[in-house]
């Protein structure tokens, strides 16, 4: 896979986990704030829209929404 495909996959995984937990970007910003991570709703939307966020940002988001298990594929 090309880098852009990996970025799209990361974006889709994060969006799916947020949707699964019914967490919007505003609520995610609030949850990140409790971890000491300051992100605005707009910054989060931009990062996820681009799909070019860091692994650290992905882990911060997953931790904030209490995601402890992540399936990378259905296979």
40-74 per-position pLDDT tens digit:
999 999 999 988 899 999 999 999 999 999 888 76
What is the number of alpha carbons within 13 Å of residue 57 lying toward its C-beta? Answer: 19
Position 74 in a domain: no
H helical segments located in the chain: 3-20, 25-34, 41-50, 55-64
Position 72 in a domain: no
Position 29 in a domain: yes
pLDDT at 72: 83
Position 24 in a domain: yes
**Mean pLDDT computed over every residue of the chain:** 93
How many distinct structural domains can be found in the chain?
1
Mean pLDDT of 34-38: 97
Closest CA to 45 of 66, 24, 21: 24
Query: What pTM did the predictor assign?
Result: 0.90
pLDDT at 71: 84
Position 69 in a domain: no
Position 75 in a domain: no
Closest CA to 51 of 20, 12, 19, 2: 12
Domain of residue 46 covers: 3-64
């Amino acid at each position: 896979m090309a880098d852009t495909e990996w970025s799209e996959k990361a974006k889709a995984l994060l969006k799916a986990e947020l949707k699964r937990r019914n967490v919007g970007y505003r609520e995610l910003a609030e949850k990140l704030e409790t971890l000491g991570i300051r992100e605005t709703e707009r910054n989060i939307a931009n990062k996820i829209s681009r799909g070019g966020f860091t692994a650290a940002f992905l882990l911060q988001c997953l931790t904030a929404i209490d995601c402890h298990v992540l399936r990378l594929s259905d296979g």
